[in-house]
Amino acid sequence: MRIKINNNFDRINQTYLFSNIAARVRDYSKGHPDADIIRLGIGDVTLPLPSVITEAMQQAVLEMGSAETFRGYPPEYGYDFLKDAIVSHYKDLGVNISSSSVFVSDGAKSDLGNIVDILGNNEIIIPDPVYPVYVDSNLMNGNHINLLPGNMDNGFLPMPDELPSGIEAAVIYLCSPNNPTGAAYDQEQLETWVSYAIDTGSLIIYDNAYEAFISEDLSHSIYSVPGAEECAIEICSFSKFAGFTGVRCGWTIIPDTLISEDGHQLSALWSRRQATKFNGVSYPVQRAAEAALSDKGIIELQKNIDYYRRNASTIASALDDLAIRYTGGINSPYIWLECPDGLGSWDFFDKLLHKAQIVGTPGEGFGQAGEGFFRLTAFGTYENTCKAVQRLRKLL
Ligand code: PLP
């Protein structure tokens, strides 16, 4: 063919992370067919949806089967019933947002990846290690990325004073609680980021996918920081909070007060983008999402979150006893540990697989600053988590 392709794709690291993990596990299983392998590598939820959600979904499906209640294309930005439920969810978190700033989507990943469509070629600031979508989508768009390394000294919560000099207005991605490190910014740190963004004319894209796991006294939204409505977009997900990884629903908040230097309202650009390239989230899914935010839904989902939290604290307390340094596990389903004995991420992966039959995720897969670290997740069963912890105690 003589067409031109987007050569920016050549800049993207081929991340063979999960296929590499799968290949190593497959090889090991071939040689050890009876091995009881425990998988603590996945970032996917495992508990089923509570009945308050499945019943709402079933009811909506029945409505779709009747002429009186059938619905066709959904509104591009979400049904009012779900947008209102999201506004009221924020109210419960102590934050006022307007319904017009809410854009319902099929998940946070799409919005995080697509938001570059409305932005020009800006300088980009991304903490390292982090969820790889921010880096890859900006590379695809030809942008220059400034990585801001996390480490044990900054608690994997890099701050603006660690930025190289000379960067002015930038698009800044913050993920808090963070995947993979589980670290979460406190209110004061978020205030510092917001005032940096306002002073430099920057935009923060705040990935709040793990908000429901916050258990300490921390901000549940960037909009609890005064001034954030002038400089921040927040992107959220029903995936981890409500078990929607397979159902697919999320939302993005773009306040009407986000306006570019040349007078463009970011929410108007996003409306236009979505109206052109997105046809909305299905009615049964939006009814399920509404049920997740209902009083009963929140109570039921809290039980699931508590279940994962118990797993996280089981892993964390073993690491405490073993004097292995880590972040996360308190406001997050992820535990990010320093590989013992100075091992590299993949060497530690092999050691855990071969000597304890535990599968985790090598930190290097989330960015260069992840080398020497390792992610374990709390999304397994409690029984398997306890079993894995026993093996870790014996091995390490
Ligand atoms: N943001 C972060 C930080 C994530 O870890 C994930 C999924 O693992 C997502 C977003 C994706 O969320 P969704 O399932 O809503 O697309």
List, in order of start, the domains of the chain with CATH numbers: 8-48+301-395 (3.90.1150.10), 52-295 (3.40.640.10)
* Binding site membership of 134 for ligand 1 (Cβ less than 6 Å): no
What pLDDT is attached to residue 17?
Answer: 85
Grouping H, G, I as helix, E, B as strand and the rest as coil, residue 103 is strand
d(CA 33, CA 61) in angstroms, rounded, equals 43
CA of 148 to the centre of ligand 1 (A): 20
d(CA 308, CA 337) in angstroms, rounded, equals 18
Please check whether residue 292 is in contact with residue 308, taking contact to mean a CB–CB distance below 8 angstroms: no
**Cut 0.85: pTM above it:** yes
**Ligand 1 binding pocket mutation candidate from 179, 233, 244, 331 (most atoms within 8 A of CB):** 179
Instruction: Please name the residue whose Cα sits nearest to atom 2 of ligand 1.
Output: 209
What pLDDT is attached to residue 13?
Answer: 78
What pLDDT is attached to residue 347?
Answer: 98
CA of 107 to the centre of ligand 1 (A): 7
At 250, list the tokens. Answer: 């999320």
* Binding site membership of 370 for ligand 1 (Cβ less than 6 Å): no
Could you tell me whether strands 361-362 and 250-253 are parallel, antiparallel, or unpaired per DSSP bridges?
unpaired
CA of 59 to the centre of ligand 1 (A): 27
Grouping H, G, I as helix, E, B as strand and the rest as coil, residue 143 is coil
**Ligand 1 binding pocket mutation candidate from 133, 207, 236, 239 (most atoms within 8 A of CB):** 239
**Ligand 1 binding pocket mutation candidate from 109, 211, 281 (most atoms within 8 A of CB):** 109
Report which residue type is found at 228.
A
* Binding site membership of 108 for ligand 1 (Cβ less than 6 Å): yes
Give the residues across from 206 on adjacent strands: 174, 234
Please check whether residue 205 is in contact with residue 175, taking contact to mean a CB–CB distance below 8 angstroms: no
DSSP-derived letter for residue 381 is -
Instruction: Please name the residue whose Cα sits nearest to atom 1 of ligand 1.
Output: 209
* Binding site membership of 245 for ligand 1 (Cβ less than 6 Å): yes
* Binding site membership of 137 for ligand 1 (Cβ less than 6 Å): no
CA of 208 to the centre of ligand 1 (A): 9
d(CA 288, CA 13) in angstroms, rounded, equals 37
Please check whether residue 334 is in contact with residue 180, taking contact to mean a CB–CB distance below 8 angstroms: yes
What pLDDT is attached to residue 18?
Answer: 86
Angle at 361 between CA 366 and CA 376, to 5 degrees: 110
What pLDDT is attached to residue 197?
Answer: 98
At 177, list the tokens. Answer: 């609680």
* Binding site membership of 184 for ligand 1 (Cβ less than 6 Å): no
**How confident is the prediction along the chain (396 residues), in pLDDT tens digits per residue?**
999 999 999 988 776 788 899 999 999 999 999 999 999 998 899 999 999 999 999 999 999 999 999 999 999 999 999 999 999 999 999 999 999 999 999 999 999 999 999 999 999 999 999 999 999 999 999 999 999 999 999 999 999 999 988 888 999 999 999 999 999 999 999 999 999 999 999 999 999 999 999 999 999 999 999 999 999 999 999 999 999 999 999 999 999 999 999 999 999 999 999 999 999 999 999 999 999 999 999 999 999 999 999 999 999 999 999 999 999 999 999 999 999 999 999 999 999 999 999 999 999 999 999 999 999 999 999 999 999 999 999 999
What pLDDT is attached to residue 73?
Answer: 97
What pLDDT is attached to residue 317?
Answer: 97
At 392, list the tokens. Answer: 């870790």
* Binding site membership of 239 for ligand 1 (Cβ less than 6 Å): yes
CA of 197 to the centre of ligand 1 (A): 24
Give the residues across from 233 on adjacent strands: 205
Phi, psi of 102 (to 5 degrees): -95, 130
Please check whether residue 232 is in contact with residue 206, taking contact to mean a CB–CB distance below 8 angstroms: yes
CA of 166 to the centre of ligand 1 (A): 31
* Binding site membership of 131 for ligand 1 (Cβ less than 6 Å): yes
CA of 108 to the centre of ligand 1 (A): 6
Q: Which of 386, 394, 321 minimizes the C-alpha distance to 38? A: 386
Q: What residue spans of 201-265 are helical by DSSP H?
A: 239-242
Would you mind telling me the total number of residues written for the chain in this entry? 396
Residue that has been written with the tokens 């190289």 in this structure: 164
* Binding site membership of 107 for ligand 1 (Cβ less than 6 Å): yes
What pLDDT is attached to residue 157?
Answer: 98
Angle at 174 between CA 375 and CA 299, to 5 degrees: 70
Burial grade of 387 (CB within 10 A; 0-12, 13-18, 19 or more): middle
DSSP-derived letter for residue 338 is E
**Ligand 1 binding pocket mutation candidate from 112, 134, 210, 237 (most atoms within 8 A of CB):** 237
Could you tell me whether strands 334-338 and 326-328 are parallel, antiparallel, or unpaired per DSSP bridges?
antiparallel
At 208, list the tokens. Answer: 């709040």
d(CA 208, CA 220) in angstroms, rounded, equals 8
Residue ranges with strand state E in the chain: 38-39, 102-105, 123-128, 144-149, 170-175, 203-207, 232-237, 250-253, 326-328, 334-338, 358-359, 361-362, 373-377
* Binding site membership of 190 for ligand 1 (Cβ less than 6 Å): no
Give the Å distances, CA to CA, from 268 to 125, 222, 352, 368: 24, 21, 50, 36
Grouping H, G, I as helix, E, B as strand and the rest as coil, residue 52 is helix
- Helix and strand counts by DSSP (H, E) for the chain: 12, 13
Angle at 364 between CA 23 and CA 386, to 5 degrees: 70
